[in-house]
Amino acid sequence: MAKQQQREKRSSSELPRHEADPAAGPVHWSVIESPVGPLLAAEQAGSIVRLNFLGDAAPDPEPHWVADDAALDALRVQLGEYFAGERTEFELDVRTVGTEFQMAVWAALREIPFGETATYGDIAEAIGRPRAVRAVGGANHANPVSIVVPCHRVIGADGSLTGFGGGLGTKETLLGLEARALAAGAA
């Protein structure tokens, strides 16, 4: 428990940072209000590069980023539709930067259907690394584009809700939202 509290109290400077491509132009950021709290969003050259839950250990915008609400309008609209139970898939360009392993995990996360879940073991199997279950958890935690790259759909082998950067209550809320939307015929 003490180790978990230490991890949660890390400063934003200790968290992974987005590696912007200077050749791609400026990174634009905005805070998007949502039913699960404010989200820090960033885009570069039309691609979403970050979507994080703001909280005690949330990263701040990079110093060179430019505040620009309009640049994130498409994401803001699609998130609004998602939270209203009207959208089951995001139609956005997403660019993530990570190791080859992380990129494979994040691609596998995007294959988990709306309203369904997969275990860390399922993801490890899907990427051809069945023994890398713990590493899948680490890659899941490092996901820079939450919700759109649905790391909230990954659960423990026993079906329990396990670690989530936005908090387990948020994970439960997102999974419940998706279940209700499916029951109402959104998919």
User: Can you tell me which residue has the tokens 């509290």?
Assistant: 5
Query: Is the per-residue pLDDT at 13 higher than 50?
Result: no
**Domain-located, residue 29:** yes
Both 57 and 132 in one domain: the answer is no
**Domain-located, residue 91:** no
**Domain-located, residue 95:** no
pLDDT digits (tens, 9 = 90+) for 97-118: 999 999 999 999 999 999 999 9
> Could you tell me the residue range of the domain that residue 172 belongs to?
100-183
Both 63 and 110 in one domain: the answer is no
pLDDT of residue 2: 36
Q: Which residues pair with 40 in a beta bridge?
A: 31, 52
- CATH code (residue 27): 3.30.160.70
**How open is the CA angle 165-166-169, to the nearest 5 degrees?**
125
144 is catalytic: no
Q: Are 29 and 44 in contact (CB under 8 A)?
A: no
**Domain-located, residue 93:** no
List 105, 151, 155, 181, catalytic entry: 151
Please tell me what DSSP assigns to residue 15.
S
Q: Compute the mean pLDDT over every residue in the chain, rounded to the nearest whole number.
A: 86
pTM, entire model: 0.84
**Domain-located, residue 90:** no
Query: Is the per-residue pLDDT at 187 higher than 90?
Result: no
> In the predicted model, what is the mean pLDDT of residues 12-22?
47
pLDDT band at 59 (very low <50, low <70, confident <90, very high): low
Domain count along the chain:
2
User: Can you tell me which residue has the tokens 């634009």?
Assistant: 28
